[in-house]
Structure 1
Amino acid sequence: MLASMTRSHNEVAVITGGSAGLGLALATALLDTGWSVVTDARDADRLHAALPDSSRVTSLVGDVRDGDHQDAIAAAVARHGRLDLLVHNASELGPMLPLAEVPESLFSQVLETNLLAPLTLTQRLLPYLIASRGTLVGISSDAAVEHYPTWGTYAASKAALDHLVLTLGEENGIRAYAVDPGDMRTAMHQAAFPGEDISDRPLPESVVPHLLALLTSTQPSGRYRATDLAPAGASR
C-alpha cells in the first residue's frame, strides 16, 4: 500500500509529537518505506519505547516550544543535509471551557504550543524545506472551521495554524497542507470526552493511508479532510 512513498534516495521527515497517536502512526509508515524520521515528545520513556533510536530514527526529548529543543531538531536535520517533509502534529488541547471563562494564561499556553512553536520551528527549517522542494503540513481539526462550545481555545489555535501553514507555503513556493484527520481514538480525544467510551473512533493508523495519498498526489496547497481523500493504494 505504501510503495508509492518509497524513493531512490533517503528522504527525511520531521514529525513533532511522535510518541503516540497520528504522529507515531505516520512516522512508522514512513520508516517502513525507507524514510529517515526526526521526531520528538516530552515523555522520554514513551518516546524511546515507541521509536527506539536507529540509523534512520532520531528521537529527541523536549518541549517543542523550547528554543534549545528546536535547535536540536534543526541540528538533526543538518546532519541529514535535507528535509522533505515537516509535519506539525504536536498539540495541546487546553481548557475545555467557554471562551468567556478561559484565563489568558491558559489561552496563551495553547497558542505557544499549537501556533508559535510551529512558526519558529518552520523558520529554523525552512531553508532545508525550500532546497528539497518539500512539503509543510499542519495537523488541523474540524474545530478550526466549526464552532463547538468549550472547544474555542483549541479551535482558535488550529484555525490560526491553518492560516500560518498555508501562508508559509504561498510565501516560499512550497506545497503546504492543513489536514483535518477527523476524530481519532487518541489520548487527546479521550481527554476532551472524560469518562466517555470513544472506542468507536477510528485508530490513527487508519488515517495514515489518506494522508500519504495527499503527500504523494499533485493536489495544490490547501486545506483537506482526510475522509475526502482516497487512501494510498486504492484503485481510482
Structure 2
Amino acid sequence: MSDTKVALITGGSSGLGRELVRALSGDGWHVITDARNGDALARETRGLYGVEAITGDVTDADHKEALVAAVRRHGRLDLLVHNASTLGPTPLPALATVTVADLKDVWRTNVGAPLVLTGALLPDLLASDGVLLSISSDAAIEHYEGWGLYGASKAGLDHVTLTYAAENPGLHAYAVDPGDMRTPMHQAAFPGEDISDRPEPASVIPHLRHLWEQRPESGRYRAADLPLPETAGARS
C-alpha cells in the first residue's frame, strides 16, 4: 500500500467539491474526482498535483465501476466525499407540484448514488481506517418553501451515511451542513438574485479538515461548529 493518502470526491468541477480537490491536492493527497461536464472538470483540475479526473454521472453504473477501479489501482481509500448533488427542478417547486420523474432524478443522485458507491468502497474505507463525508444541508432538518424535495433527499443522505456508521463501528462517518455558500447550485436556487453576500466555499475547508484530521465521533455536524485545526491558518 502506498503511503500517499487517497481521496475520492464526487462533483469536483465547481463549488465546494472543487475547493476540496484543490485543498487535498495541495496537501499532497492523490485525489480522484468526477463531474458530468468533462470540459469544466478538465479546466478546473488542470495542473493540480495528483488529481485524477474521470468524467461521468454518479448515477451511472459503469461510471461507478470506473471510480471503484481507480481507487483499487491505488490500493487504499482514506476519504470518500459525497459532494455531487442536484437541486431538481428550478425554480424550486412546491411539493404538491413535484412529479415522480422529479423524485427519481433527485433521489438517484442525492441518495441512491452515495448509498451504492459507499457500499462498493466500504471494504477499502475500513481497510484504510478511512472517513466517509457526505455534504448535507440545513434543508435536511429545516422546512423551507420550495426546498422539500431537495431537503428530503438530504435527510435521506444523512440517514444512509449515519446508518453506515451504525453498522460499521470502525467507520468514521459524517453528514455535514456546510452552510450557505456562493456556488452555482445556490445561485440556481435563487435565480436573478445577488448572492455575493454568501461566503466562498473555500472558507468551509478549514472547518471540514477537523473531520479527517481529528476524527470526532460519527454524526451530523454543522461546518461552522467544527473547530479550526491549529494548522488551518497556514493552509487556508
1:123 Cα deviation (Å)?
1.3
1:158 Cα deviation (Å)?
0.1
1:44-193, aligned counterparts within 5 Å? 44-52=38-46, 56-95=50-89, 96-173=92-169, 174-193=171-190
User: Are 1:207 and 2:201 matched, yes or no?
Assistant: no
TM-score by length of 2: 0.93
Letter in 2 for 1:153: L
2:121 and 2:60 mapped to 1: Cα distance? 15
1:232 and 1:99 mapped to 2: Cα distance? 40
1:29-86 per-residue CA deviation (whole Å, 9 max, x = no partner) reads 1111111000000111110111137772110001000000000000100110000100
Select between 165-174 and 32-41 the one with higher mean Cα deviation: 165-174
2:22 and 2:74 mapped to 1: Cα distance? 19
Partners of 2:182 and 2:200 within 8 A in 1: yes
1:214 and 1:58 mapped to 2: Cα distance? 23
Match of 1:4 in 2: none
1:2-17, aligned counterparts within 5 Å? 9-17=3-11
1:229 and 1:134 mapped to 2: Cα distance? 19
Letter in 2 for 1:30: L
2:103 and 2:215 mapped to 1: Cα distance? 37
1:182 and 1:54 mapped to 2: Cα distance? 26
Match of 2:191 in 1: 194
Letter in 2 for 1:23: G
1:172 Cα deviation (Å)?
1.7
User: Are 1:229 and 2:226 matched, yes or no?
Assistant: yes
* Alpha-carbon distance change, 200 to 55 in structure 1, aligned in 2, over 3 angstroms: closer
Partners of 1:52 and 1:59 within 8 A in 2: no
Unaligned runs of 5+ in 2: none
* Alpha-carbon distance change, 53 to 128 in structure 1, aligned in 2, over 3 angstroms: farther
1:151 and 1:31 mapped to 2: Cα distance? 33
1:163 Cα deviation (Å)?
0.5
1:216 Cα deviation (Å)?
1.2
TM-score by length of 1: 0.93
Partners of 2:25 and 2:48 within 8 A in 1: no
Provide the aligned length of Structure 1 versus Structure 2: 228
1:115-143 per-residue CA deviation (whole Å, 9 max, x = no partner) reads 00001111111110111110101100000
Unaligned runs of 5+ in 1: 1-7
1:123 and 1:112 mapped to 2: Cα distance? 15
1:102 Cα deviation (Å)?
0.5
Select between 158-167 and 119-128 the one with higher mean Cα deviation: 119-128
